[in-house]
Structure 1
Amino acid sequence: MTKTNVKRKLKELLAGYSFMFPALIVLVVFLLLPILYSIFLSFHKVNLLGHVSYKFIGTDNFERMVDDPRLWIALKNTFRYALIVVPSQTLLALVLAAILNMKLRFRNFFRVAFYLPTVTSSAVLVLIFMWIYNKNGLLNFILESVGLPTYNWLGDPSVALFGIMIMNIWSTAPLFMVIYLAALQDIPDSLYEAAEIDGANAWKKFWRITVPQLKPVTFYVVVMGVIGTFQIFDQSYIFSGGSGGPSNATLTMVLLIYQYAFKNLDMGYASALAFMLAVVIMLITVIQRLIFKEERLN
């Protein structure tokens, strides 16, 4: 390689990195450094009152998790939430996308109407559903109108979390519906025409063609759904007023981290919990990758 080529390659390299530099600065300052600082805090006892101090305590914060009953309650609630919400919203999104991909009248109107919950503020949605679930709310009003007994939907620990689940499925499924709709446009019509010639009905075409062709998209939807459900905070915070009640029924991992960090000012332990949550999400993502084997579909 001649000196001219070397200089040209170096010039192109510097030009490329100069364009990337602003984005790299943002990533380092707002992503990499906070992650490293959080890991640092997880091995220290932090005092934020008065003079800020750090006392190295090794793995004490991680060992403390074993004897923390509220942590296991939060983990149980979060896993339970994810196991119900993720499959439900994925299935609902797929069904809605398949229906709205048909040649129906006013389908563009229905696409916009179904997507509206996604663009609505999460806090506003929670307040609306709290009004619906309230003792004097819409749900009890309907039950009373048809002669059925009313219920304390927000105050019963056995149903409080399900109320958040229903709201989240209703508000999140339309986002994944749009992703499925975009993917359905890429499935060749020739596959459906060939299946129709072979005598396949609508169900067989959906199960044998649509679902397998959407497998990479389903992997993405499930992964994003799991990450979103494990990071649920604002819904449970507003529903319970920040307490995770009633009786810790709506206590989630992120809400528990918030309570330790900003109510108890135990930043070290909160950082250790956040680190543990990140590891759990990564492990679940790896397991999903092995199950779907999406790299073999390309």
Structure 2
Amino acid sequence: MKKERVVIIGSGPAGLTAALYTARAQLKPVVIAGDKLGGQVSLTHEIENYPGFPGGLSGAELVERMKEHAESFGAEIVFDMVTEVDFSKGSPFIVKTAGGETYSADAVIIAIGANPRELNVPGERENVGRGVSYCGTCDGFFFRGKDIVVVGGGDSALEEAIFLTRFANSVNIIHRRDQLRAGVQLQKRAFENEKISFTWDTVVEEIYADGAVNGVRMRNVKTGEVRDMPTEGVFIFIGHDPNSDIFRGQLALNDRGYIITDERYRTSVDGVFA
């Protein structure tokens, strides 16, 4: 068993920032990064709105620099997956990994975030960064003058669709129902935007690409009609799922599965932060 003062679970910007601060405080944190570095930001093809990088850089490059910064002060980054925790007896806390390691930690910082829900259709994962995106503010700039689609009907979908009209030639919102779930004011803004159109009662079943996205196959859920729509971008906003399953029964979660914290990021267990 490895005894540590601080174990940080997660290696996105939040986890690496926590690593930097705890390392500078001489706490020698261990970051259990998962199987790859960076969390959601690593999916971003190019970032042009992060201060200090006027030329832009990829999400992978950004988190690599964050990693190097944290390591320069003594943080240790371990590429492994946390499979089990035991917070029931208080500090020291037990953290077990897929690689067979067991850590005993005086404090634990959880920075695992949430994953955007995927459509789980052919052509989706393999075209992330080539026309498929889960972040309009990250990637909208790269779709200037293009015709794109947004999948979803909630607040996030409409907010992002409205934002994307700053760049895109047109935005078609594909929604599986015949009415939106978003707030009334957001709906009003979307309906009044000349660049936005709607495809109702429809789901995306496949994303086409030839080096880059060039179309989607859709099915009407009421009529069963299947048709294709040319598009140069697919932005998916159908919700997020927190990565909190291993903490069920260990920490208080809300009804959506997110870890409950106070204003100082303390969880229901003293010494565990999120």
With the shorter chain as reference, the TM-score category is under 0.3
Larger relative helix fraction: 1
Q: Higher RCO, 1 or 2 (CA under 8 Å, sep at least 6)?
A: 1
* Higher alpha-carbon Rg: 1
